[in-house]
Structure 1
């Protein structure tokens, strides 16, 4: 049940009746007609912009349309009052039975309440994390992992067929550096002093890799030239790093459906095939580029390269895909990888990149647009940095990683659930401060605690009610009478009614942080009702009369159902009691 969508349908049907009666011209486009919560709750439960957006095409004054529409909507039993405001805004107040229906629907559907068919089974690929396989995941990867996984869950909840994918960047020079770093730990495992020179990875995490190499190969490669051991050590160390990365992701509850390898694109003809597909469209050519901005002519060496005409699809400049020496640029295998995703039949692609990839957005979108003939949209979400603190002081770096704080450091100190929720308390493109002391404090200022406490409070009420012999199963609560009469109860019911709409908005914009924001607001309404009960006994969930208790508990349980569903999307287990 999506009450906002249902009332919007009622508005559109009312407009159709006005057209049929000759009060409005026929054929009006109602695509931009919305029904949403008013900015000021005092104005009503819902508001529609119908009169404002249809006034010009209808050749009518907005207020005239609003008044006729209000008269039509007043006949709907779900609407207690349709009131025209200002130049033509239409505010709606719901009948109590409409809020009762929302609560019953939530109790009947359980955690599936708000689940949508908006996605219509369309296939969407969410590629996220995709960290270089050169070490443990750091806190930046943590935020990207949480965001990508929550987004995938959100899209699944909204009716999409979702594939979670990790692109292993194992085809570049960084994996050669990894192999050389592992070789020094291999030497160390044999009692030799490792030479961790500048440019190598210094973290202690490679010590067990060196020992494993010794266990596998003994001293066979100690005196051998690099050419003899580099390919072997590269593959061995890369697999060891991917094992570590999978374990790190598992700590967060993240599991990928597909792992794709960049290395697998080389020497297989797949890069060539992708570029040939672009060449067939006239988008690959031999040419020279203008000097980059800020370069003086004497600093720029003009040379002919193989270029992708990305400007034909919205990029600022054309992009090289092959260097003058015949080797591929970094962009070429990325084109091939996305071509593979297009040919796998996805209807929508989403890439989750670090903030340092901002310059890559236009070229990648241009490539996908060209490869799919504009049939497959690509949305790229950039993840801004996370700053770690402990009691307001910057958190120190991890010795194990060598240069950064690891995902494991964060999860072991804060817990997976807390980490996931906090990482979603800011929009993905906004910086985020993560203070280990604050994220575990028990206060309203800590959104994780505040939301979990709301769910735990309801669970406590259910336990006490059951002990008193009151039937608190969802079916029993839904079947009984409800008592949503007080303004605080109605506010909570209205917030519950917003959930299905909120899911679709968050899925449409690919913004899972909206779920975290909504859960905090829902928890605030629940706590507000609870606190009002301290002063007004009639608002307490447990009453002397078991039937009245049931009616009160039904509303609280419906709120808990939504909190549980929302936390499920975020990948957080709801708390049944607070310790």
Structure 2
């Protein structure tokens, strides 16, 4: 029920009826013909660029071609008027009867309205959060969690086959540091006086229960084992405990992953997965032995002045070639990235989306180059960088440091302001833009608080049905009854609400294809604003109120409109990951 796609087809058919040819006599390329909402709603319901993009190849004047197109389009029974604007744009107004039919369809589909097959079942892997399992989630992880989760929801709704994935970084130096940190807490739990946590280790109190659990399970046995053996046990138990904590924190935010991928599996069996991935790139001609030139400025951690095994990433778009094997024979961190990306491709994913913090900007080109090398043109890789979130309380910035243990946890923020304000506000800016999160503003009940404004619209919709029951005895009519009555809608404000609802399927497809979930939050606010504006008109003019006591049939028509608004608000808020309340308290 994407009316923009529908009318694109109609306009293309109208163009074909004009029998236009390009200057060489070949059929015109119609792929650039677009239909969209006009920038100014007063200009009409739809606007098309058809004459503008076809005039030059057809050797015609754009405005003259637009006039011919208008004459053809006026024959469409759903088009009330067609007018040429500016140098050759065409603005269309649709009949009330068309909007009534469209509203009938919305009511019939309910919260399924807007669901699309545009994704064609393409297998998409959205990897997001993937915080190191070294402590509880803090608010810095929050934005990526919400952006990734909402995007996955939207893409699923748009017809993609989506998997939500979290990679557990359970290999590497930070896990050794974590294990040693917990060993101190274990000794503390056994009654030793450990003093201050040494610099470089994790000092957070969240590790105290892990040490206590180890003491309860093993007593002093771990101290009697060889250090390497004991540390292996401690690391396993600690990773399990940290991931349980992380999953609980994410659940508070209504974030649930389908797959938790362990980085350790890439290093298992003598790193067979990494070796296999490198061998695959070798066969494709992307691996060579050589020396990297000294980098300008600060040297990266993986640079060594020696001949080594290198990924020829500059041949596929990167700034420099990447080392894969360290001087001690172990694999670099990037080598694990190679194996992990190949694993995703081997699982059948063709769209790979990474949601990362802004501090990972340096990884973008190398990941894009790796995707080209592993999958060629068949694989589309996108990296979404989430800019910083600045947290404020009482006008003062809140600072956090994971290593010092002095940080604001995600759990604390959710418990203070609630899940829904966090989910919505993290989407109320494009992910690449900085975001200020103010505790006071996200909980105030005003138009200036977007999440309240949208949820209040949902609550108002349900209040209309309560009014209809209390004032007229109309108790939640069947959808078919509501749909049958909508032809009674005539007011411009009512038709304007249907127009806004009609934008939803296109919005879903665009947000999915452009991978911009913030578009949905903006749309929901606009829809709420349109609804509240019409509600306020009814406050001034009783004839425009949704419940009209002396006209049951018109009331049913308006209840149908309200039902459609409620459905779209619920659908959109569900994709955002928030609730659509039936009342506000």
Q: In the alignment, what sits opposite 1:190?
A: 190
Take 1:143 and 1:102, find their aligned partners in 2: how far apart are those partners?
36
Structure 2 vs 1, CA of residues 291 and 401 (structure 1 numbering), >3 Å: closer, same or farther?
closer
The alignment of Structure 1 onto Structure 2 pairs a total of residues equal to 576
SS in 2 for 1:379: strand
Matched, 1:237 2:238: yes
Aligned mates of 2:540, 2:21 — CA distance in 1: 53
Could you say what secondary structure the match of 2:120 adopts? coil
Q: Which moved more, 1:177-186 or 1:191-200?
A: 191-200
1:69 aligns with 2:93: no
CA shift digits 1:339-368 (9 cap, x unpaired): 000011112111111111110011011111
For 1:338, the equivalent position in structure 2 comes to 341
User: Cα–Cα, structure 1 residues 75 and 332, in superposed 2: closer, same or farther, change >3 Å?
Assistant: same
Equivalence for 1:249: 250
TM-score (norm 2): 0.95
Say whether residues 1:457 and 2:463 are aligned partners. Answer: no
Which secondary structure state, in structure 2, belongs to the residue aligned with residue 264 of structure 1? helix
Aligned partners of 1:266, 1:295: CA distance in 2, in Å? 29
Tell me the distance in 2 between the aligned counterparts of 1:57 and 1:421: 45
Question: 2:326 aligns to what?
Answer: 323
1:162-311 matches, within 5 Å, as 162-194=162-194, 195-222=196-223, 226-268=227-269, 269-294=272-297, 302-311=305-314
Which secondary structure does the structure 2 equivalent of 1:324 belong to? coil
- Counterpart in 2 of 1:35? 35
- SS state of the match for residue 390, structure 2? strand
Q: Aligned partners of 2:3, 2:326: CA distance in 1, in Å?
A: 57
Aligned to 2:364: 361
TM-score by length of 1: 0.96
Provide the rounded CA distance (Å) in 2 between the counterparts of 1:2 and 1:257.
30
- How far did residue 27 of structure 1 move? 1.2
**2:132 corresponding residue in structure 1:** 132
- Give distance in 2, aligned partners of 1:432 and 1:455: 26
> Is the 2:573–2:580 Cα contact (8 Å) retained in structure 1?
yes
Q: Residues 68 and 22 (structure 1 numbering): CA distance in 2 closer, same or farther, change over 3 Å?
A: farther
Aligned to 1:427: 430
How many Å separate the matches in 2 of 1:375 and 1:22? 32
Tell me how far apart the structure 2 counterparts of residues 559 and 399 of structure 1 sit (CA, whole Å).
43
Could you say which residue in structure 1 is the equivalent of 2:351?
A: 348
Structure 1 equivalent of residue 101 of structure 2: 101
- 2:486 aligned with 1:485: no
- Does residue 516 of the first structure (1) align with residue 521 of the second (2)? yes
Check whether the contact 1:477–1:550 (CA below 8 A) recurs between aligned residues. yes
Residues of 2 paired with 1:504 and 1:22: CA distance?
31
Which residue does the alignment assign to 1:380?
Answer: 383
Give the CA deviation at 1:21.
10
Hey, what's the Cα distance between the residues in 2 that align with 1:25 and 1:530? 55
Q: Is the 8 A contact 2:461 2:562 kept in 1?
A: yes
- Cα distance in 2 for residues equivalent to 1:481 and 1:155: 31
Q: 2:324 is paired with a residue of what secondary structure?
A: strand
Aligned twin of 1:575 = 581
CA RMSD across the alignment:
2.0
Residues 20 and 26 in structure 1, CA contact (< 8 A), matched pair in contact too: no
Contact 2:158 2:509 survives alignment (8 Å) = yes
Alpha-carbon distance in 2 for matches of 1:562, 1:322: 53
Q: Distance in 2 between matches of 1:566 and 1:401?
A: 39
Give the deviation of 1:486 after TM superposition: 2.4
2:569 to 563, 567, 574: 563
Q: 1:301 to 1:253 in 2, by over 3 A?
A: closer
Distance 1:549 1:395 in 2: 51
Q: Which residue of 2 aligns with 1:504?
A: 509
CA contact (8 A) 2:28 2:58 kept: yes
Task: Flag as ranges the 4+ runs of structure 1 deviating above 4 A.
Answer: 20-26, 396-401
SS of structure 2 residue aligned to 1:374:
helix
The secondary structure found in structure 1 opposite 2:222 is coil
Q: 2:474 aligned with 1:442, yes or no?
A: no
Deviates further, 487-496 or 465-474: 465-474
Cα shift at 1:209: 0.0
How far off is 1:266 after superposition?
0.7
Offset from partner CA, 1:505-549 (integer Å, 9 cap, x none)? 101101111000000000000000000111122211011211111
Say if 1:391 and 1:438, in contact at 8 Å, map to a contact too: no
Task: After superposing the two structures, state which structure 1 stretch, 204-213 or 534-543, moved more.
Answer: 534-543
Q: How far has the Cα of 1:396 moved from its partner?
A: 5.8
Gaps of 5+ in 1: none
Does the 8 Å contact 1:18/1:24 carry over to 2? no
What secondary structure, in the 3-state scheme, does the structure 2 residue paired with 1:328 have? coil
* CA shift digits 1:49-108 (9 cap, x unpaired): 011111111111111211111111111111111100111011111111121122111110
Question: Using the alignment, how far apart are the partners of 1:182 and 1:21 within structure 2?
Answer: 75
CA contact (8 A) 1:19 1:26 kept: no
1:525 aligns with 2:566: no
Asked if the contact 1:352–1:382 (Cα under 8 Å) also holds between the matched residues in 2, the reply is yes
* Aligned mates of 2:17, 2:420 — CA distance in 1: 51
Q: Is the 8 A contact 2:23 2:57 kept in 1?
A: no
